Structure 1
Amino acid sequence: MASLATSIIFSDSPFRASPIHNHRISRYASRSSTAFVVSPRRRGLTVVKSALIEPDGGKLMDLVVDESRRSVMKREAETIPVRIRLNRVDLEWVHVLSEGWASPLKGFMRQSEFLQTLHFNSIRLENGSVVNMSVPIVLAIDEEQKSRIGDSNRVTLVDSVGNPIAILSDIEIYKHPKEERIARTWGTTAPGLPYAEEAITKSGNWLIGGDLQVLEPVKYNDGLDRFRLSPSQLREEFIRRDADAVFAFQLRNPVHNGHALLMTDTRRRLLEMGYKNPVLLLNPLGGFTKADDVPLNWRMLQHEKVLEDGVLDPETTVVSIFPSPMLYAGPTEVQWHAKARINAGANFYIVGRDPAGMSHPKEKRDLYDADHGKKVLSMAPGLERLNILPFKVAAYDTTQGKMAFFDPSRSQDFLFISGTKMRGLAKKKENPPDGFMCPSGWKVLVDYYDSLGSESGNGRVSQAVFSA
């Protein structure tokens, strides 16, 4: 399992090329400023006016039906004879698509988009430009559903109890090449890949794509909806805070002080570069995760404690849930994570060691090379607006009693605390070294693992309690 050490990727200066990525460099400035783009085909500068960084395709997709038309569209959805029931992961992808995280997609992928994603990790638009798209966002159906659809041109998508969620129009049905999809997404077809087993292996043999009209904003009514800001809402919040730079941090784990060190040091460096008010988007993943990950509700409570204790500054931090499912697809998936945050307005992106990685499902090793994620991001098609600026990794400095940047000249003084070790300590109610995580945040983690023992004893699921 990868350690929790981290590094950073972001745009450094207007015309700084990394050794790997030098074919196109861009700087997208923030509010009321000017961006300069160097084009490989046009030697010279193109001046671009930009509020926040421009969404992929130039427009943020909003697939939620306007409130004035919802009652009409809901009645229309009821009249469509064919209904497709969504499972949990399907609904999460509807949520992602509806809010524009996957812009410029207008719905579940048709075959041409699916094949481009699978083979090129990108989609070419009608104007010839390329946007990154590294993971298929598709909807599977079985033979019986395909037969019922017949020649129909649209279907109604419903939730687990039959409530209409969306209308899928101008549909296209095509074969679901499961083995190829798994092999190209994960680089292996070994059994035990969590997302593949959850959403692909047992799914239907056909895929259905089309344009989505989502009948109303997706809500979960789990006490966390107030944290689920859409890309458009996030952009509004960044403008309200007068942010002139936005840097995003993707995570699916509790925040320890090494994470916080990287985030606060990133802001310091952005200030040194001349930005006046860089704002952090702390954007934990909120969709499907594997069974041994800490559940979202407990992670969000832990993040609240980090802010309450001042480890991160609430004035310069926006906490919001990223609704995507987690694939654990390493360098392939990290491109999706970066692309989605561009659509949310972030022009800087922090990336960790072995991002989106996991242990090999059958062998005692990591599934991916720990450095490949950040290297792939530096070369990924459609992500030319991001450049690598390597940081020293963060680890626990035993001489200072705190998380610090690793110094290879005294490597014996540093302790790398992996996610596995962190979870093991919490399960045994043992404390980590002082300075690894804020005490109130650590208590949340201990309480979570303690609740698992209570659940096994009484059959009840304990819930994290949030402040108002």
Structure 2
Amino acid sequence: MVSKPHGGKLIRRIAAPKTRERILSEQQEYPRAQIDHGSAIDIENIAHGVYSPLKGFLTRDDFESVLDHMRLSDDTPWTVPIVLDVEKPGFEEGDAILLYYEDLPIARMHVEEIYTYDKEYFAEKVFKTKDKAHPGVSKVYSMGNYLVGGEIELLNELPNPFAKYTLRPVETRVLFRERGWKTIVAFQTRNVPHTGHEYVQKAALTFVDGLFINPVLGKKKKGDYKDDVIIRAYEVLFEHYYPKNAATLATVRYEMRYAGPREAIHHAIMRKNFGATHFIVGRDHAGVGDYYGPYEAWDLFDEFPDLGITPMFIREAFYCRRCGGMVNAKICPHEGKFHTKISGTKLRKMILNGEQPPEYLMRPEVYEVIRNFENPFVE
């Protein structure tokens, strides 16, 4: 059956309409703090239960437990710190404050704790490096000197250009039940689909009732595909190549940390909260550069027998000319000279040069979608 939420209960931290109206009418009376786009998205994910069992940003005990043990202080598995940083707090512990993104009040926060932290220790524990060239490490070093822990209540969300494809955990759980899916495998992506992705997704779908493709929308690295390109590409793939009652597509807004193995666990927890029972863990999942081994995330799942979602480890796909199709190293007996590996970098270069990738690497319908965008990549 649909998985239980992480920690046993799906969290909802959204101010009731009358409460929201009262808070907004009195907003000038509250101390305030400015937050960045990533924190605004984190608040949204807390409020809608994507980060269950979190009700707000981590207090010191939970923060230190996550760094040192990859668990909250109550022993619930949790690997990526969800924290709010400020440079200099203009409020005190015990205060209720408003968190603003630019001029928009995003949430009310009940400040439980204000504490300092060691940025180098934070970076090394989460990212396994202190190298500032790592985007996650760079982000930590740019954070304010204090962390603020406490529960939040959502007041407003950022504008969402993809509302049509946005489903919250409470909604996906209803959808899965309505479709009669008892086992659901989730696939996280931040790219347009090539035939290797399709192979992995359909291989996993063979063993479960339903496939939940959950693209990450939001801030990305230079050279990544833009959000609307990813959505449109999956639309045509679903239209032509996926069984109607066995797969569904819904997006999630989330700022990638590129924390490799730790973030792979975090991604699995998020999809567990959506209702998935299984999660596809790919090659170099949530990695960047060469900071992590290609299958290092697979090993970390062994440390979490109580995670409550089953990882599916499917090896990288490639095209074999002798087999005549997409395969992986476990099922293909042929020499490397018959193999064509799928390189995202190579595919991007072909597209930028106006060259259509071979059909065995990318569906022609997907290529047409990309080609119809004047600039499909983040600059």
Q: Report the TM-score when normalising by structure 2.
A: 0.93
1:182 to 114, 123, 127: 123
Q: Which residue of 2 aligns with 1:268?
A: 206
Q: Which residue of 1 aligns with 2:229?
A: 298
- CA distance, structure 2, for counterparts of residue 169 and residue 388 of structure 1: 36
Letter in 2 for 1:138: V
- CA distance, structure 1, for counterparts of residue 305 and residue 253 of structure 2: 24
* Preserved contact between residue 108 and residue 211 of structure 1 (Cα < 8 Å): yes
Q: Residue 72 of structure 2: SS of its match in structure 1?
A: strand
Query: 1:447: Cα distance to partner?
Result: 4.0
* Preserved contact between residue 322 and residue 334 of structure 2 (Cα < 8 Å): no
Change (3 A) 1:452 1:267: closer
Describe how 1:281-320 pairs up with structure 2 within 5 A: 281-309=212-240, 311-320=241-250
Q: Which residue of 1 aligns with 2:85?
A: 140
Percent of residue pairs identical: 27
- CA distance, structure 1, for counterparts of residue 97 and residue 305 of structure 2: 33
Letter in 1 for 2:125: R
1:417 to 342, 347, 362: 342
1:370 to 268, 282, 294: 294
Q: Residue 308 of structure 1: SS of its match in structure 2?
A: helix
Describe how 1:179-258 pairs up with structure 2 within 5 A: 179-197=120-138, 199-216=139-156, 218-222=157-161, 224-258=162-196
2:57 to 108, 111, 120: 108
Q: Deviations over 1:146-174 (max 9, x none)?
A: 1x2146512101121x2211100043100
Change (3 A) 1:291 1:389: closer
Letter in 1 for 2:113: E
The structure 1 segments of at least 4 consecutive aligned residues displaced by more than 6 Å after TM superposition are none
Letter in 2 for 1:119: D
Letter in 2 for 1:115: E
Query: 1:244: Cα distance to partner?
Result: 1.4
Q: Point out the structure with max Rg over C-alpha.
A: 1
* Preserved contact between residue 229 and residue 376 of structure 2 (Cα < 8 Å): no
- CA distance, structure 2, for counterparts of residue 390 and residue 163 of structure 1: 42
* Preserved contact between residue 154 and residue 169 of structure 1 (Cα < 8 Å): yes
- CA distance, structure 2, for counterparts of residue 321 and residue 110 of structure 1: 29
* Preserved contact between residue 350 and residue 357 of structure 2 (Cα < 8 Å): yes
Q: Which residue of 2 aligns with 1:341?
A: 271
Query: 1:76: Cα distance to partner?
Result: 4.1
Q: Over aligned residue pairs, what C-alpha RMSD do you find?
A: 2.1
Q: Residue 95 of structure 1: SS of its match in structure 2?
A: helix
Query: 1:123: Cα distance to partner?
Result: 1.2
- CA distance, structure 1, for counterparts of residue 376 and residue 311 of structure 2: 40
Change (3 A) 1:392 1:326: closer
**In the comparison of the two structures, how many residue pairs are matched?**
377
- CA distance, structure 2, for counterparts of residue 190 and residue 215 of structure 1: 37
Change (3 A) 1:242 1:219: farther
* Preserved contact between residue 65 and residue 215 of structure 1 (Cα < 8 Å): yes
1:403 lines up with 2:344 in the alignment = no
* Preserved contact between residue 80 and residue 266 of structure 2 (Cα < 8 Å): yes
Query: 1:98: Cα distance to partner?
Result: 1.1
Change (3 A) 1:343 1:452: closer
Q: Residue 90 of structure 1: SS of its match in structure 2?
A: helix
Q: Could you list the runs of 5+ residues in structure 1 that have no partner in the other structure?
A: 1-29, 31-51, 271-277, 360-365, 457-468
Q: Which residue of 1 aligns with 2:19?
A: 69
- CA distance, structure 1, for counterparts of residue 339 and residue 87 of structure 2: 53
* Preserved contact between residue 61 and residue 99 of structure 1 (Cα < 8 Å): yes
Q: Which residue of 1 aligns with 2:6?
A: 56
Query: 1:401: Cα distance to partner?
Result: 5.1
Q: Deviations over 1:377-410 (max 9, x none)?
A: 2323642x34555445321123455423341433
* Preserved contact between residue 132 and residue 381 of structure 1 (Cα < 8 Å): no
Q: Deviations over 1:41-90 (max 9, x none)?
A: xxxxxxxxxxx21111110001112335331232244431x111121111
Change (3 A) 1:381 1:181: farther
Describe how 1:79-158 pairs up with structure 2 within 5 A: 79-80=29-30, 82-125=31-74, 130-143=75-88, 146=89, 148-150=90-92, 153-158=95-100
* Preserved contact between residue 214 and residue 251 of structure 2 (Cα < 8 Å): yes
* Preserved contact between residue 317 and residue 342 of structure 2 (Cα < 8 Å): no
Letter in 2 for 1:226: K
Q: Which residue of 2 aligns with 1:9?
A: none
Q: Which residue of 1 aligns with 2:316?
A: 393
Q: Which residue of 1 aligns with 2:365?
A: 440
Q: Residue 57 of structure 2: SS of its match in structure 1?
A: coil
* Preserved contact between residue 378 and residue 386 of structure 1 (Cα < 8 Å): no
Q: Could you list the runs of 5+ residues in structure 2 that have no partner in the other structure?
A: none
